[in-house]
Structure 1
Amino acid sequence: MNKTFNKSIKSYGKFLKSYLRLGFTFSNDLPNMDNGRRLPEDEKLDKDVRKNLNNPNSNVGAGPDPTSENKDLKEEAILSPGKVAVKNFFRNPLGVIGLIMFVAIILLVFIGSAVLPFNQYYSQGNLTNVAPGGAYMNFPKEMEKEGSKKISIGNTFAVGLTNEDNVYIWGSDNEDKVLTVPSEVKKALQGKKVIDVAAGDRHILVATEDNEIFGWGNNSFEQTKMPPMQENQIKTEGIEKLGAGVQYSVVLTKAKNLVVWGSTMASRLNLIPSEVQGKVEDFDTSPINMIVAKTDGTVQLLGVLGAENQTTMPKKLTDGTVFVKKVALTSSSAAAIDDKGKLYVWGPSRDQISGANVPEFEAPIVDIQGADTTFTALDENGKLYSWGKDNYGELKTPDGEFEQIYASYFNQYAVDKEGNIKTWGLNGFRFGSDDQGRDIFTRLIHGGRMTMIISLISTIIQVVLGVAIGMISGFAGGRVDNILMRVSEIISSFPFYPMLISLSALLPPGASQTQRITMVMVLLGLLGWTGLARLVRGQILAERERDYITAARALGVKNSQIMIKHILPNILSIVIVNATLAYAGNLLTESGLSFLGFGVQEPTPSWGNMLSAAQSSEVLNIYWWRWVFPALAVFLVSFSVNLIGDAIRDAIDPRANER
């Protein structure tokens, strides 16, 4: 027993010795011992400890560094839930991508609609279904090097003849492949001198020195081929001048006779009066008319008569009072220059071309050219003047001294004294044109503004109704909860699209566009709040039993203040997430309604009715740009908003994905 006691005393003594020397520690942290003897590394450790204790700059035994502690506290400071959510949101790359995409679309749509001029009633029959592209006026440099003899302009292209008798074609191609010269035409033109060229709306003609005519492009009415009935006449009399219009072609022979062929049934332009034949000095074309300057100095209009370009023609131009040398036509107005350089312009006042719209000229006019809605004149000093309707930049005339001018359809060319060519007018459609010749890009921008505003307002209505009804139902409980939830179930049980279409049909036939748009917004809001109301109600049921609500009631706070000031901020995150997703859904719904013909109606654009106009198989297969760009716009907005909504949800509740 004494041995056992002595052994215990020795063991306890070793413990006290160890405690006094090192302090109490866990066994894993004890220095290495070997039968009570200190190892060399232990001695080294003791020396380091004593050295640090004697060093005043040492941090050993002095507690934590206050500088690093403050830094850690700053980094780990408690942030407000809003700041935490924002921080989490911007850590989500998909959310940031969605936000950037959505903001970019909003800026493009709303700034673009404020900057881009837009007339929803404007259409242009000569520019229907034009493919996306540009460079309509990017002429080859050889036109300047070789010198320009003539430039003739089509709707999206042009053809030029140089002083070296070379033919060049440029612009944007169309379904008629007008920029591609057929191999048989190339073969036929080999070794022959081209003396004249002409461009119609969608076809090109060239005339050779042996009085042959070759053409390509649209040939719906045989307008690219020499007419068999008049072929001998043309070859016998010789070709003085070529011309072309909308699907028809014209030749002025050296015997002062006109030959017209192609699409002339409606205009009867092929029926040239006998008092005109043999007396034609000059002519110009429009879609349904031709104007002729005769050898006796008088003017005569051919084709569809009775319009203001005939009825308002100055009498002195037809009775021989003045001698006319040059004539020109727009789509519905006319102009003539007499031998003294005086210009006469007439036509409907709506064209903004005649009367007070004609500019003051500094010198006599030597040339006049007509485009679709504008005239361009050249005075003897080489100065240019353009006036009319500026639909595609046709009035942006360059400064300088010029010798030649060419204009037709929507483009103008001017050649200065050094042979340099200046151009202005339509240079292409970024996203193509639709079946009425309207720019799809412009309609996409203005239609996007309409679609996004409708979606926004309908979402606001949904959120206000859903939050209000959900909060009242959840907080009040009992009979009120029962009634409101049954009403929401009844509304949500209705088939959504059939219900919207049925209610849309209640509008009177003469309802204005504003009434129709208002109806769409209200219906989307009234029928779409039920899901949010049920979600809010569930959150209210959970929140109203919490301690802070009990405390507020004990303090006598009114129920309305409890709901608005205490409960609503705690469920706001859920409302925001739901609102973003509802916005994307409303955008798709509005597009679907307009697509079905029950939303925004033409001519007011929206992404939905732009898609509605592109339903046919022909459009889907050939004119792809009419549906691809509106569909892509709807997809990008919906996709970006969904990315934002998902990122907000994850930012507010980071553990949602783990659950």
Structure 2
Amino acid sequence: MDPPVIEEEPVRSPMRMILIQYRDNKVAMTGLVVFVLIFLACFILPILYPLDPSYQDVTQQNLPPGFSQQKVPRALRQNAKQIDAGAAFSIGIDQNGTVYLWGILDDKLKAVPEDLKPVSQVSAGLSHVLALQEDGTLRTWGNNRFSLDQVPESVQGRSDIKQIEAGYQISMVVTEGGELFVWGNENLISIETGKVQGNVEKIVSNTTTALALTKDRQVVSLSAKESTFDAVPQEIQGRAVDLAATDKSAAVLTEDGRITVWGSQDFGVQEIPQKVQGATVAIEAGRSHFTVLLKDGRVVSWGRNNFHQTDVPAEAETAASIHAGYYQNYVIREDGSVASWGLKGYLMGTDDFGRDVFTRLVSGGRLTMTIGAIAVIISTLIGVLIGGFSGYYGGKIDNILMRFAEIVGAIPFLPLAMILSSIVGNNVSELRRISLIMVILGVLSWPGLARLVRAQILAEREKEFVTAAKAMGIRELSIIFRHILPNVVTVIIVNTTLNFASCLLTESSLSFLGFGVVEPNPTWGNMLTGSQASTVIVNFWWRWVFPALALSLATISINLIGDGLRDAIDPKSNER
């Protein structure tokens, strides 16, 4: 009988053993996967979702997560008569006069009057709606501040109402006879009705003013204050047939089918597509874009495209009517079916300035991780140099360097950074402030690593390979950094990994207290600054849950990676 064959176990390098042991640690591998996903999200997603630090929008404040802003009710999709878009919701009516609401609706908007009769016309404002019943009765619900719910007696019950307009905290009505009635917050939007009273054909409004198209085809700015809307082009006067207004510009359609835009040039609103000139039959506007209907039923949009409000889908190419609002567009075809495009909602909601939390979260994560990473690199370089010299030379050099490390380690980082931030104030740019944070954070966080490197080198310098290197005449710097240091590099990696998590927390703490990176540049820390009030914690949970969750997952995953590396490098650590 042949003797059993004994297979020789393959020889594995120490690094390979470490990698195998780390791979078998499921908790550490989970931490690695989570951190890699967070890292990639913070450095890749900002390319796809670029941040505009200056962007603010009061109409989008504190909106919850969700994508319901264009979810047209099924019963309306094939039977629509009219649709109008508000700040975060829309309202529509079908051919039978039934009202439908969708989007982000608070309790007041949901409170549709139970006795509401068939409706012939609807209009959506910032947070309230107007509905004109077929019997001429005007109904309103939603925001009831500024007397928005108090329809003037001179309007109620009239049979000659031609147009209703729910604007930004105001309501307006135009009659067949050209009369204009306005109520609501007229301190915010002051409108001089006397300019056109008795001669109004159509009224349009935005967040600052209103414009009127008169029966003699003139365009009149109704603002009580001087504005860019006052500079109405003279060549269109007497020829206007339709009118629309964004927040900073206005457009008029003349009888020859041409479009003229005046006011601000932001977002390319004055760059009118050539194909619409001479072929337009209707025009609508949102906050910063225009949408037009052409003679052949095609629809064209231009202007700001931050929410894809100018990306007209193929199914909207054949329209009978167009309906545009803040960031939404709707078209109704001849058969009553509906197509829509624009803002659908926010993945993680918005903050108190109307900014997208998701976009700020990924951009803020990139900045937080960059600050933490550079601070760790600085602290690692200093710690390795001082620890290496101290451990190798010993004696007076060791005493001096370690006493210096103790002094630096005794300096509290947060109070020092707060004092420096107060002294510097607004005297430096934001880039220099960020650089200062990284340098201070790195310069003050090396003592722990220096002591660890010193202890390791004290043990390594007595070994035979060091004696042999000295006998061969190798320079001491080469012995420290080319012969001894590679033997302790795994310990340095573990400490650096754990220190990275500490730097993330420290930077976030500093920004949270208002002494780090300041608005409008986001970090995970300063995103939490505005979430301290109890009303925010209770009512606007998404403003603090997502930044806190991202920071927690990042630091926990980094700590798991560090613990896994330590266990892989020193398996006996599990037994202690």
Q: Which residue does 1:250 correspond to in 2?
A: 172
* Matches of 1:179 and 1:508, distance apart in 2: 45
Among residues 452, 458, 473, which one is paired with 1:556 in the alignment? 473
The code of the aligned residue for 1:497 comes to L
Gaps of 5+ in 2: none
Answer whether contact 1:374 1:394 (CA < 8 A) is retained: yes
The code of the aligned residue for 2:279 comes to P
Q: Which residue does 2:256 correspond to in 1?
A: 340
Kindly state the Cα deviation for residue 249 of structure 1 after the two structures are TM-superposed.
1.1
Q: Which residue does 2:147 correspond to in 1?
A: 222
3-state SS, counterpart of residue 235 of structure 1: coil
Q: Which residue does 2:283 correspond to in 1?
A: 368
The code of the aligned residue for 2:542 comes to W
* Matches of 1:597 and 1:167, distance apart in 2: 47
* Matches of 2:186 and 2:459, distance apart in 1: 79
Q: Which residue does 2:305 correspond to in 1?
A: 390
* Matches of 2:363 and 2:12, distance apart in 1: 42
3-state SS, counterpart of residue 220 of structure 2: strand
Q: Which residue does 1:235 correspond to in 2?
A: 157
Any residues of structure 2 matched to 1:262-277 within 5 Å, and which?
Answer: 262-269=184-191, 271-273=192-194, 275-277=195-197
3-state SS, counterpart of residue 525 of structure 2: helix
Pair 1:647 & 2:564 matched: yes
* Matches of 2:164 and 2:45, distance apart in 1: 43
Q: Which residue does 1:100 correspond to in 2?
A: 33
The code of the aligned residue for 2:95 comes to N
3-state SS, counterpart of residue 145 of structure 2: coil
Any residues of structure 2 matched to 1:174-253 within 5 Å, and which?
Answer: 176-177=106-107, 179-182=109-112, 185-186=113-114, 188-189=115-116, 192-226=117-151, 230-236=152-158, 238-253=160-175
Q: Which residue does 2:71 correspond to in 1?
A: 138
* Matches of 2:415 and 2:251, distance apart in 1: 57
Deviations 1:503-530 (A, max 9, x none): 3334252311110010000000000000
Q: Which residue does 1:39 correspond to in 2?
A: none
Kindly state the Cα deviation for residue 233 of structure 1 after the two structures are TM-superposed.
4.0
Deviations 1:42-92 (A, max 9, x none): xxxxxxxxxxxxxxxx32xxx333xxx2xx31xx22211100000000111
Q: Which residue does 1:64 correspond to in 2?
A: 4
The CA RMSD over aligned residues, in Å, is 1.6
The code of the aligned residue for 2:289 comes to T
Kindly state the Cα deviation for residue 560 of structure 1 after the two structures are TM-superposed.
1.2
* Matches of 1:244 and 1:336, distance apart in 2: 20
Among residues 327, 349, 357, which one is paired with 2:243 in the alignment? 327
Answer whether contact 1:224 1:249 (CA < 8 A) is retained: no
The code of the aligned residue for 1:78 comes to V
Answer whether contact 1:245 1:285 (CA < 8 A) is retained: yes
Deviations 1:293-335 (A, max 9, x none): 1111111111244222222x111344x3x2x221111111111
* Matches of 1:218 and 1:288, distance apart in 2: 18
Answer whether contact 1:607 1:634 (CA < 8 A) is retained: yes
Kindly state the Cα deviation for residue 556 of structure 1 after the two structures are TM-superposed.
2.3
Q: State the number of aligned residues.
A: 574
* Matches of 1:657 and 1:343, distance apart in 2: 76
3-state SS, counterpart of residue 146 of structure 2: coil
Among residues 298, 302, 316, which one is paired with 2:235 in the alignment? 316
Answer whether contact 1:137 1:170 (CA < 8 A) is retained: yes
* Matches of 2:526 and 2:225, distance apart in 1: 37
Among residues 159, 169, 179, which one is paired with 2:91 in the alignment? 159
Kindly state the Cα deviation for residue 158 of structure 1 after the two structures are TM-superposed.
0.5
Deviations 1:10-36 (A, max 9, x none): xxxxxxxxxxxxxxxxxxxxxxxxxxx
Any residues of structure 2 matched to 1:616-635 within 5 Å, and which?
Answer: 616-635=533-552
Answer whether contact 1:590 1:608 (CA < 8 A) is retained: yes
Bigger-Rg structure (1/2): 1
Answer whether contact 1:213 1:225 (CA < 8 A) is retained: no
Pair 1:352 & 2:268 matched: yes
The structure with higher relative contact order (CA 8 Å, sep 6+) is: 2
Any residues of structure 2 matched to 1:80-91 within 5 Å, and which?
Answer: 80-91=13-24
Say if 1:362 and 1:497 are closer, same or farther in 2 by CA, change over 3 A. Answer: closer
3-state SS, counterpart of residue 545 of structure 1: coil
Kindly state the Cα deviation for residue 603 of structure 1 after the two structures are TM-superposed.
1.0
Deviations 1:445-478 (A, max 9, x none): 1111010011000001111110110010010111
* Matches of 1:78 and 1:377, distance apart in 2: 74
Pair 1:299 & 2:214 matched: no
* Matches of 1:565 and 1:317, distance apart in 2: 80
* Matches of 2:225 and 2:499, distance apart in 1: 58
Q: Which residue does 1:171 correspond to in 2?
A: 103
* Matches of 2:435 and 2:177, distance apart in 1: 66
3-state SS, counterpart of residue 414 of structure 1: strand
The code of the aligned residue for 2:234 comes to K
Kindly state the Cα deviation for residue 225 of structure 1 after the two structures are TM-superposed.
3.3
* Matches of 1:238 and 1:107, distance apart in 2: 61
Among residues 52, 64, 82, which one is paired with 1:119 in the alignment? 52
* Matches of 1:112 and 1:178, distance apart in 2: 37
3-state SS, counterpart of residue 437 of structure 1: coil
